[in-house]
Structure 1
Amino acid sequence: MDLDKPPARPQHPEGCLTVAIRLPVRIVVFVLVLPVRMVWDALVVCGRFLTDTVLRPVGRALLWVGWALLVWPWGALWRHVLVPVGKALGRLGYVLVVVPLRWLYTCVLTPVGHALARIVRGTGAGLAWLYARVLAPVGRTVARLVKGVGMLLAAAGAGVYAAVARLVRYLLVVPARWLYEWVLAPVGRALAWLAGAVVTAIGAALCWTTRILLVLPALALWRWVLAPVGRVLALVAREVGEALGHAWRVAGRVSRAVGRVLATLFRWIFVEPLRWVYRTVLTPVGHVVRDLVLRPVAEASRFVGRTVRQALAGAREAVRQARADLRRVLFGEPRPPAAVDRREPTGRETRTLGRSTTALTKD
């Protein structure tokens, strides 16, 4: 399955211009794209090789170095220095700040607050009595007086307002309404009709002038010049794009074929001779060296190791015996361990598992 193939498109009938443009464009584009595709494939191969052999190991090494130089020291500093210091400072702050503040709140501020609350409650009760017994009756009396004066003033103002309103209606409103209905409105309608007719005539003249001078030439230019040129340019652009895609795919196949040829040549020139040398020369020589040199050397090394271990064990045993003899000469024989009553006989009359009785319960 070729993954470079584009998706199939429905076939449409094509003109002679399309067929005449397609072949030379594809040839020219293929000649231009082939070196670019080969260079691109070579860069991709080099990039993958560098990524696998250089960048990833270097990245892992840098990651490990960064962890060793940054993460681990900061983690150790946080775990072994900052956390203990923070806990110590928290305990110190609790002892030096929280405990005194709690004592101050409990023993000083709470009694003072209760005393202030009682004083405020007493003052509030006095002010409430003053409001209920003195200020409220005085306020009601003043409100009644102000209400009576306001009613008198409202009655006088209503009469004056009615007289002034009647005078204004007959002296200003009625004449202004008559002037608007019989003079200004007819004159305004006439002026509006006249302005509309003038604007309509000017607009029609400008519309015809614009159509004749601009629209018809622009339409003819679009229909007979720009549209055909645009179709030709779109056809050329489409063919160039398809030629680029086709040339890129064909150049990829050519590049892969060249890569396979170079890989085969490299295998025939370098890999196969090296493999032949390894199989026919180095492997037999390695087997001979292993059988004649390495194995006898290994056997001799193991024998020497066993001899040295035995000699060291004998030397340790001799040193242990000499130290025991010296201790016995200097301090004498060690005391035998004292017998301990274990509540069970140690001879033949010990507990028997095959019978229901024990040595302690026998007659």
Structure 2
Amino acid sequence: MVDLEKAPPARSPEGEPVPRADGEGCLVVAVRLPVRIVALVLVLPVRMAWDALVVAGRFLRDTVLRPVGRALAWLGRALFVWPLVGLWRYVVVPVAKGVGWLGNVLLVVPAVWVYRWVLTPVGRALAWCCAGVGAVLTALGRGLYAGLAWLGKVLLVVPAVWVYRWVLAPVGRALAVVGRELLDALGHAWRIAGHLSRAVGRALAALFRWTVAEPARWVYRSVLTPVGHAVRDTVLRPLAEAARAAGRAGRQALRSARLSVRQARADLRRTLFGEPERPPSVDRREPSGAKARTLGSSTTALTKD
């Protein structure tokens, strides 16, 4: 908890109050407590909203912004950076080197001659003239500056110093005390609001878990799973077996119908065109044991003694 009340002022052995080291007086003590209470009441919803926005922002950054940013960065490099680097390296730099060499050949020598024999003498003459005019103007400026400085000091500086010393400084000290207390109160209120926000968040999470998640889990495990198993064993499996049996019966009926149609076409073909000619049968049986080659003789079925 934050110490919202100040300790009583310390007293000397003679019973007189000891002045505080931080220079705080009765105005500070009178302003601090109500300011901190009001600041806590005003800051608490702002801090809770801030914490919610921070959580949402982190989730959005990790799931959306980072992948999109990486993809856009790669696309930007592929579309702009790499083409510009290639253009600069293989086009602009060679052209600039060629132009620089040509300008050096056509212009660096004539320009040096003009600078040395024309511009330098003219510049020195102009510099001598400007130096004389500058000396005269400097003397006039110094006198004018001294007069204006004295007039400004009398008309502006002295009244401003008096106003600052006897008006602005006391008001500034009072406003500094009030502002310091307001900032201190806002800081304490922000920290307290953070603790309260986290406590409210944990309480809401626990309430959601015990009112929604745990009952839903219990219903799933204790009610829906047994009911699903019962429906699967008593309804779905018999229906599946019946469907498979019906499919087998249908396939068998289709096969029988196909055979009947094939037999009917064969009968119709025999009726219309007669029996087809059959090729002569060839005896493909193996030779008998008497004609076959044996292990004890050198004769075979093709060679005889």
Which category describes the TM-score, using the shorter chain as reference length? 0.3 to 0.5
Relative contact order, higher structure (CA 8 A, sep 6+): 1
Higher helix fraction: Structure 1 or Structure 2? Answer: 1
TM-score with structure 1 setting the length = 0.39
TM-score with structure 2 setting the length = 0.45
